[in-house]
Amino acid sequence: MSQKHLIAIDLGATSGRVILATIDGQRIGLEELNRFPTRMIRLFGRYYWDIYALFGHICDGLRDAARKGVAIDSIGIDTWGVDMAFVGRDGQLLGLPRAYRDPYTDGTPEEFFRTVPRREVYDRTGIQIMNFNTLYQLAAARRERCDALMAADKLLFIPDALAYLLTGRMVCEYTILSTSQLMDPRGKRLDAKLLAAAGVRPEQFPGIVFPGEIVGHLSAEIAEATGLGPVPVIAVAGHDTASAVAAVPASDERFAYLSSGTWSLMGIEVREPVITDESFRLNFSNEGGVEGTTRLLKNITGMWLLEQCRAAWKARGRDYSYPEIVAMTSAAEPFAAWIDPDDARFAAPTDMEAAIRAYCRETGQTEPADDAALMRCIFESLALKYREVLDKLRRLAPFPLQTLHVIGGGAQNDLLNRMTASATGVPVVAGPSEATALGNVLVQARALGLAADLKDMRRLAAESVATRRFEPEESARWQAAYDAYERITQQA
């Protein structure tokens, strides 16, 4: 077959990229055209995403693609979940989208549960209760009497808002909707009772589309400005984790995945939602995947911990490269101190290093002596947290979990992957590192008839990327560390 050229627009919580994919039928090649920060901005005490800056970077990437001189067959967009843009009756965006790390939702779930009880919310949605879920963002914005929400004609999740800016067509993509705690996962439709309790209306949401459907074509204005012409924009798995999971190079279903980046998301892929007393007690989410699958998963704070420390160290004149971090962590004393990465104090502290030291003091541990010891504390704590969540996942999985696939940026972190294999006691297969972009491309390929089904998509992924395998080591030492970690985190 002749080569096809697709564009993946892939925005994570700290950086975004525009990637050109080339498919020849057997392999996919990825070329990064541009990379840019997706920083939150603070205005008047609130946190926002500068969606216009993001859109400008995306258009720059599309112009870079046009300069390649190849015909582009399709474009897809994936981003982080839950956040929304508000659109007025005139079609204009009403201000900047609020960022999920804004603490304005603190306490909102408990307030909301006075209207709809916690258990009923979970039974209706199957979604992990987290402050920043869209349901509570909308309730908090309504409580603040947010002018943009009050005037909104339509509500768009971030990938849908960007697709709207490119095409002029508004849709609500299924996988991104599934992160919101506004959707019935069994019927794959909006839950009218929860919308009403949050103070919004079903008609404020555009029609739902599923991965592989065409959103529209680049508008005449954007087609001319980028030089690409009227390229179709395809609804991929708009939630970045859903795209990443589509790219897991697995040959059967008996795997767990860890999408590792700023956030870590660990889960399995099942055919039907798992909404039970046990999944409620363990606070697991049921989110939409490709081809009708459900991703049973849990959100875990990931490399956010290290990223925040690195930024503070850099500001103080200690700018460590990643190889330096690996060397320093490897040389530091093992099993000296641990934290619960999901403790609320680490969500958005003004000083992450100080927050970690305070946690260690308050739990009767010795504070990390220096930067290397603090790095070691973060790495080991993440590996032990992964063990904790995987143990819970085993209790919900309808099949044995024989392998843990680590995908996303964390697939390149050999040290953490080695620790994770040892902590969890299962082999870790690391790769692809660009899983979200690859999954984005695979859904486009499926829509264009270049892959037959999800199994074929994963075959194509396996043939296109190299992976690394890590076997468990020092099982007794890691078991002892986990026992101590459990005691410490339960008392915090």
pLDDT at 51: 98
Residue 151: name the closest of 83, 81, 90, 84 by CA: 90
Q: Both 128 and 267 in a single domain? A: no
The catalytic residue positions are 240
Tokens of 95: 């201000």
Q: Both 44 and 94 in a single domain? A: yes
pLDDT at 92: 98
H helix or E strand, kind and range, residue 165: helix 158-167
H helix or E strand, kind and range, residue 132: none
**Rg of the chain over all Cα atoms, to the nearest angstrom:** 22
Q: Both 200 and 84 in a single domain? A: yes
Q: Both 228 and 283 in a single domain? A: no
How many domains in the chain?
2
Give how far Cα 6 sits from Cα of 30, 68, 441, Å.
10, 12, 7
Residue 187 has a CB neighbour count (10 Å cut-off) of: 8
Low-confidence ranges of the chain (pLDDT < 50): none
Cβ atoms of 378 and 405 within 8 Å: the answer is no
**166 lies in a domain?**
yes
**436 lies in a domain?**
no
CATH at 322: 3.30.420.40
CA 292 to chain centre: 19
Q: Both 204 and 124 in a single domain? A: yes
- Bridge pairing between strands 28-37 and 189-190: unpaired
Query: Widest CA span of the chain, in angstroms?
Result: 64
Cβ atoms of 174 and 288 within 8 Å: the answer is yes
CA end-to-end span of the chain: 59
Residue 384: name the closest of 420, 416, 428, 360 by CA: 420
Q: Both 154 and 286 in a single domain? A: no
Amino acid at 24: D
**344 lies in a domain?**
yes
Domain boundary among 177, 205, 238: 238
Domain boundary among 201, 222, 238: 238
Helix axes 371-396, 322-331, angle to 10 degrees: 90
Q: Both 228 and 334 in a single domain? A: no
Q: Both 130 and 219 in a single domain? A: yes
**DSSP character for 411?**
G
**67 lies in a domain?**
yes
Separation of alpha carbons 184 and 53, rounded Å = 34
H helix or E strand, kind and range, residue 316: none
Structural domain boundaries, residue 371: 239-431+467-492
Residue 421: name the closest of 390, 393, 395, 397 by CA: 390
Q: Both 151 and 243 in a single domain? A: no
pLDDT at 1: 57
Residue 121's φ and ψ, nearest 5 degrees, are: -60, -45
What's the CA angle centered on 131, arms 129 and 136, to 5 degrees? Answer: 90
Domain boundary among 216, 238, 260: 238
Separation of alpha carbons 461 and 411, rounded Å = 15
Separation of alpha carbons 30 and 8, rounded Å = 9
**440 lies in a domain?**
no
H helix or E strand, kind and range, residue 203: none
3-state helix, strand, coil in the chain (%, to 5): 45, 20, 35
CB contact burial 246-285 (16+ within 10 A = b; e otherwise) = bbbbbeeeebbbbbbbbbbbbbbbbeebbbeeebbeeebb
Q: Both 38 and 185 in a single domain? A: yes
Helix axes 475-491, 414-424, angle to 10 degrees: 90
Residue 256: name the closest of 435, 404, 407, 417 by CA: 404
Dump strand ranges (E) for 138-222: 154-157, 172-173, 183-184, 189-190, 208-209, 214-217
Cβ atoms of 423 and 484 within 8 Å: the answer is no
**438 lies in a domain?**
no
Q: Both 77 and 148 in a single domain? A: yes
**442 lies in a domain?**
no
Q: Both 57 and 119 in a single domain? A: yes
**11 lies in a domain?**
yes
